[in-house]
Amino acid sequence: MTVSDVPAQPAAASTSPPKRTAAGDSAAPVPAARSRRPGHRYDVDLIRLLCACGVILGHTGSEFIDAVGRQEANGAAAYWAGMTADAVSRFAVPMYFAIAGWAVLVGAPPRDGWRLAQRMVRIVVPMGVWTVVYLLWGKWQSTNEDPLRDLAVDAAFGTVRPAYHLWYLYTYVPVVLLLGFVVLLRAGRRPWWLGAVLLGFALGPGLLADAGRAADSGTPSFGWGFGVYSLVYAAGGALLFSLRPRSGRGIRALWLAAATAAMLGVLAYQTQVKYVIPNAHVLVALFTGAVLLTLTRVRVPEPWRPHLKRVAGAAFGAYLVHLMVIRTLAEPLVSADPGGEEAVLLTAGIWAASVVLSFGAAMLWQRLGLRRLLG
């Protein structure tokens, strides 16, 4: 993704009448401004790639945790292998929100409602396609808990079964739209359509519940929305990614040590207090912030940059397909029985194979021109 800075301060205001964009948002006179484009943020590419690999690791660990029924007594080696893998990955989802906040508010703020709508289409279309794929896959595997039609209706309103990893996108889309709405207002735009969509997200749960009472029937859960924590992670990410903190091996080593300590705290919490730790927990916030500050503004060697950019560009597609890959690999291999070394090797092997296959598949369909459809 090529990013651009916030436009510089205007020299003079435009006197042209308001225009209406293709997306239907009325634009107030926008000051004439010159913008400058900084270099590509390869450190952000690196963090995106790390987040995708982290999510795959966490869901690999979940297979081992489920194999022992979340109980250490049912298989200590599998339990601890799964819990450790899950704890190591806990920074990934909050970091995705941080990257989204930086991209919308600082890195590549939308210039008008049409461009913001295009961004969301690139998210929602693959999300819908993969929802259908996972539903059909679950039917083929005979793992769907409810009839296909019921699951499809639930998915439209935000209940993600059997593709539980897609819950993030039901939150990501409203967060990005809200931040984009603020950016456009600050730029003098009047994105009425976007305000209507956000109002629909806000009123949706109540309207759906009222419809259920009127029809005297049950209604799906409404999952299009976000908690305070996701918005705070997005705003905080915009701040931290924009900083130029003191760098150097010593400083980064201190942040890495802090990240390691926070990760161990997450592991202790999940094994001794509650599994799953909330994303809005202080340990997760510290873990995420420490990882971000360890890697932000890190210099990526020039020979690596084209390869890193290409692989990071496949991260969204890999995120969408990886759960299917993990479950296919884990089904014949994961159990509650392995010993310590075997559990570690299985976890690492399934994770590595899932990363390679997921990214390989995403890069293949992008080469075939299917990125807009499959992510």
Provide the pLDDT confidence category of residue 38 given band limits of 50, 70 and 90: low
Provide the pLDDT confidence category of residue 276 given band limits of 50, 70 and 90: very high
From residue 161, how far is each of 128, 220, 227, 276 by CA, in Å? 13, 12, 20, 18
For residue 90, which amino acid is it? R
* Mean pLDDT, rounded, of the chain: 89
Hey, which bits of the chain come out as E strands? Answer: 19-20, 26-27, 189-190
Least confident of 93-107, 183-197, 233-247: 233-247
Mean pLDDT, to the nearest integer, of 197-202?
95
Q: What is d(CA 253, CA 269) in angstroms, rounded to the nearest whole number?
A: 24
Is residue 256 within 8 Å of 68, Cβ to Cβ?
A: no
The region, left, alpha or beta by phi > 0 then psi within -120 to 50, assigned to residue 8 is: beta
Summarize pLDDT for 241-265 with one digit per residue, the tens.
Answer: 998 867 677 899 999 999 999 999 9
Query: Is a pLDDT exceeding 80 seen at residue 86?
Result: yes
For residue 280, which amino acid is it? A
Provide the pLDDT confidence category of residue 194 given band limits of 50, 70 and 90: very high
Residue among 122, 45, 60 at smallest CA distance from 317: 122
Q: What pTM, to 2 d.p., does this model score?
A: 0.88
Which residues have a Cβ under 8 Å from the Cβ of 333 and sit 6 or more positions away?
346, 350
DSSP letter string, 275-328: SS--TTSHHHHHHHHHHHHHHTTPPPPGGGHHHHHHHHTTHHHHHHHHHHHHHH
Longest dimension (CA), the chain: 74
Summarize pLDDT for 117-161 with one digit per residue, the tens.
Answer: 999 999 999 999 999 999 999 999 888 888 998 999 999 998 887
What is the dihedral sign for C-alpha 55, 254, 248, 107? Answer: positive
Q: What is the pLDDT of residue 30?
A: 42
Q: What is d(CA 150, CA 157) in angstroms, rounded to the nearest whole number?
A: 11
Is residue 242 within 8 Å of 106, Cβ to Cβ?
A: yes
Would you give the DSSP letter of residue 12? B
Query: Is a pLDDT exceeding 50 seen at residue 218?
Result: yes
Provide the pLDDT confidence category of residue 162 given band limits of 50, 70 and 90: confident
